[in-house]
Structure formats: C-alpha cells, structure tokens
A and B are shown apart, each in its own frame.
Chain A
C-alpha cells in the first residue's frame, strides 16, 4: 500500500536511486583512473583564461566534486593581473552553472569513454578567484 502511494506521488523507486548512484560512481571511478586527463584539462583551462587575464599557474587547483545529480569540476585559479580590459576590469568570470550530465548518452568502453565522460561531466565552475588588480 505504501509502495502504491509512493508511486502515486511520484517518489522515485530505489532502483532509480541505484541507477543514479551507479552512474555517478562510475563517472568518478573513470576520472580517478586518468590523472593525465585532469592535467590536460587543467592546461587547456588555463590557456583559455590566460587569453584574458594573467593567472598564477603554480597555484591552480582543479578538483572534481560530486553534487546532487552531477559531477562538477571545481577550479581555483588565482589571478595575478588583468592584462586586457574586458568590460568591467575588476569583475572576473566567477561561475558558470553546472549543467547536469546527459544520462542516456551512449558511452563506448575503455579509454574513450573516460575522456568523453570527463568532458561531459565537467560542469565547469571557476571558483571565485582572488582577483588581485595591479
């Protein structure tokens, strides 16, 4: 009876919870397996940001964190100077909303999947950077 009511009121079944947990745990597993990928992403990220501001390459932190329904990439990138004025020079791009990952995307096995998953998963949010104006 309780099951019936739960279903009636749209509470998700435990198998749905299991599926969701499994999807996330595997995504994390696959990320953990390729530190070289994280390094590559870190490099690319910094390259893009460096086009607009000067960042402290030695103090960059990139982490993956599991949030409610998505895996988020959290980057802490200290900014040394704003080399090129972009609108308001004191304002640094702070955060892009983490987008939930597509659950039904076909993922080929082995390495390729890790890469793709990583790219999909990386809901980039550049953490509030310490913008030190010159």
Chain B
C-alpha cells in the first residue's frame, strides 16, 4: 500500500495537464525478433533522458516484459485487472528498478488475448498518455486480435525486423496492415556485421530496400543482450557498451533529436585471423 501511494504521488505530481504523451506500439508480426527486449531498452533509455515512460505489456497470456526488466516479483496487478476495474491504474503500475521515471503495466499471465476489450484498451492508453511522456506498447506476435488490441490505442509504430527473409516478409505485412496513420519507423535487430561482410546475411540496405521505412537504428546481435536479459537489467543501463549506446541513440531519435542512426561496425580482423579463416579456422 505504501508503495502504491508513492507511485500515485509521483505520477500525479509529474503529470502535465496540457500535453499528451506519445503512444508508440512496438510490433513485428513475427515472434522472437526482439520486440520485448527493444521495448525494455528503449523505455530505459527514454527514462534516462528524463522522460516519464510507461511500458505496457500487451502480450496477454505470455507476460515477458516484467522478466526483461527484472520486475517479475513486484507485479501485483495486471492490464486486465485495470481494464476490468479490479485494480486502479496506480495500483497496477510497477515502478522501475533503476529509474523513478519508468513504470511497467504488466500483461495478465493466466488470461487470453480475446478477453481484452479494444475500446477499453484505447481508453486506458489515452489516460496513460495524460500521465506519461511515452507510452510504449509491447505488441504480441501475430496479426490477430492481440495485435489489433495492442495497436488500438497507439498513434505511432516502431517495427522491429531482423535481417531474415521471414522477418522482413512479416514486417512488410504488418506495415501494410498498419497503413500510413502510424508512420512506422524501423529498428533492425540482431544484425551480425561479420556475416553481412561475408555475404551471409541480408544487409541493412537489403532490408530497407524492401521495407523503405525511416530507419531509427540498427542493433547488433550481441552476447551482452543475452547476459543482461538473464539478469533482468536492460543493456541500455550501460551506456558505455556499444549496444547500450545504440539504444540511447535510438531513444534520442525517437525524441526527435538529430543524431545519426546507430550502425554496428564489423570488428576489426587481424591479418593472422584473416589468414586463419582462409584455411577454415573459425573465429569465435
């Protein structure tokens, strides 16, 4: 109860009455491309910039965002509790571990996606926009009801794509479904510059020659992301790492700052390694 009170105070005291926040849905169509990781990291980076951010896990039935943020033990109420008025918004908002500006609204774990009422979802996102600068909605995979509910209250979209044929195809479909209203922007995730260089992976240019979307940035496929996810601490907390910095650059671009889109570079290869790889030796 005490904790709830704190949430309430913070949220209310920081709520400007005049300006609505931005509701951005993060979507991809295909599963497993990094929607949840991107939501957690972008939210963390935006909060670090001083913005008030709420992350909404719209993946009802498969709650994950709490895990990535390390907040799984603090979730007491969820999205459907709020939509069905069993809990107030203030009771359900979980404050972030590392920032007082970041909050999570968790998905229901033991419910189904079709139990969400799109109109109520829309109303909820509207009321969140009154309290926060950014409402980031983590969309479930697929293009069915769960997708439609997640998109219902959003007014912008960020699409996440990996450099794979299936992922690009699905993003193409999702962008077609979204239409122009959401002005979708692109994050390319899990790029391996080494493979691109060797002609074994689609490049950023290849992907965007097809999708033709404004590019927010590119995130490399890094072991660091797995490690930080294991710990429940988004990599964006570590601005000194290349990938952490990349998330911060993406956040800056989302906020409208004119910084270059982050682009991972292929690690330098020594002559010895190059000779080695010529004879079949594999680099780690």
Contacts and interface: CB of A to CB of B under 8 A. Distances in A.
Interface stretch (A9-17, A44-52, A61-69): A9-17
B200 A13 contact: yes
Interface string B147-185: 000000000000000001100110011011001100000
Contact of A22 (B168, B199, B279): B168
Contacts of A21: 165
B10 interface: no
A4 B196 CA distance: 15
Query: Which of A3, A16, A107 has the most chain B CB atoms closer than 10 A to its own CB?
Result: A3
A3 B198 contact: yes
A98 to B, nearest CB: 22
A22 B175 contact: no
Given A26-B172, A29-B173, A15 B165 contact: no
Interface in B124-162: none
Place the interface of chain B in its size category: 20 to 34
Nearest to A4: B278
Interface in A1-50: 1-4, 7, 13-16, 18-19, 21-23, 25-26, 29, 33
A22 B200 contact: no
Contacts of B200: 13-15
A111 to B, nearest CB: 9
Interface string B199-239: 11111001000101000000000000000000000000000
Contacts of A2: 280
Query: Which of A13, A18, A22, A26 has the most chain B CB atoms closer than 10 A to its own CB?
Result: A22
A33 B177 CA distance: 11
Contact of B202 (A3, A18, A108): A18
A110 interface: yes
A110 B172 contact: no
Contacts of B199: 7, 13-16
B176 A15 contact: no
B274 to A, nearest CB: 10
A22 B165 contact: yes
A39 to B, nearest CB: 20
A110 B165 contact: no
B246 to A, nearest CB: 22
A23 to B, nearest CB: 7
B280 A29 contact: no
A109 B175 contact: yes
16 contacts: A7-B199, A13-B200, A14-B199, A15-B195, A15-B196, A15-B200, A15-B203, A16-B199, A19-B202, A21-B165, A23-B210, A26-B172, A26-B210, A29-B169, A29-B173, A110-B179
* 8 closest residue pairs by CB, A with B: A13-B199, A22-B165, A15-B199, A1-B280, A18-B165, A19-B206, A14-B200, A18-B202
Interface of B: 164-165, 168-169, 172-173, 175-176, 179-180, 195-196, 198-203, 206, 210, 212, 278-280
